Amino acid sequence: MRVNIEIDKDSGFCNGVVRAVRTAEQNLASHKELYTLGAIVHNNSELDRLVKKGLKVIDKEQMGRLSGTTVLIRAHGEPPSTYELARERNINLIDCTCPVVLQLQKKIADTSGQIVIFGKIGHAEVNGLVGRAEGRAVVVENIDQIEKVDFTRPVNIFSQTTKDPDEFELVCSKIRERMADPSTLVVHNTICRQVAQRHSRLSAFAKNHNVIIFVSGKESSNGKVLYELCRQNNDRSYSIQSLSQIERSWFKNGDSVGVCGATSTPKWQLTSCARFLKIRLKSYICSKFYSILYGNYSRF
């Protein structure tokens, strides 16, 4: 089978995740063991690679039982309560909170009045933002949840850094329509510029290929958003976590295949996917030839 395979040059770890992973690797190289509060990246393949090097993933309850050790704060950031717990338990923190997230946390902490955060409820980054708001934040995931907002009061709205810019704009528009005084709605554009640019580029990438293979961990919030973007622009888009999920029936002779992923998908995984497709689709030609002669060949 003849196909053309291209890896999206803009896919792969965002800068914040690159920094966190490199910091973890450097510490593991010298100490052979390191704790991280929550999965350092929402990608099982990459996480397994780091766990084999000695990374230990813990939750807040487990952290509360540690003492005199080192814990890495991932790019998502944490609420003030985590730093207080570290001081109480004499825990050294390696703070890898993304600089973009840190800036957003500071903006929210410095903002008075009603705060609305557009983001995924329970997401690690959003939990950190809510913590900075000290009980003044309302979290909305979509336009169906804007009823949580008090439209009679001024509103400052922020977005989780990895959300869809178009969806954020829609939510802001719907809130503005409901406001008693629309001029009191202050929109803070807090979506990461690197992520925002990825949306427009990925749309074009999806349109320019017959088939899209989107590689992402199932826990990745950003992955869900970007895959949906691919699917909107190309109905032959398929989301996978591992190579074993790829189906031969997705491809036709002469297809242009695009391989892309989330901000939590490492470049090595995209490269492995492209290499796998080249080998398997090429071998399919031989399999099909032998099937004509002998009447049997594998599905892929």
Active site residues: 125
Which residue type, as a one-letter code, is found at position 77? G
Residue 172 CA to residue 165 CA, distance in Å, equals 11
Cα angle value 203/207/210 (rounded, 5°) = 135
Of 143, 112, 142, 137, nearest to 125 by C-alpha is 137
Burial class (CB in 10 A: 0-12, 13-18, 19+), 235: exposed
Q: Residue 22 contacts by C-beta under 8 Å, 6 or more apart in sequence?
A: none
C-alpha distances out from residue 1 to 137, 242, 280, Å: 54, 22, 9
Which residue type, as a one-letter code, is found at position 57? V
Within the chain, strands assigned E span: 4-7, 34-37, 55-58, 70-73, 92-95, 114-118, 137-140, 155-159, 185-187, 211-215, 237-240, 256-261
Question: Which of the 8 DSSP states describes residue 274?
Answer: H
Residue 140 CA to residue 74 CA, distance in Å, equals 23
Helix residue ranges, H only, 134-219: 165-178, 193-207
**CB–CB of 116/188 below 8 Å?**
no
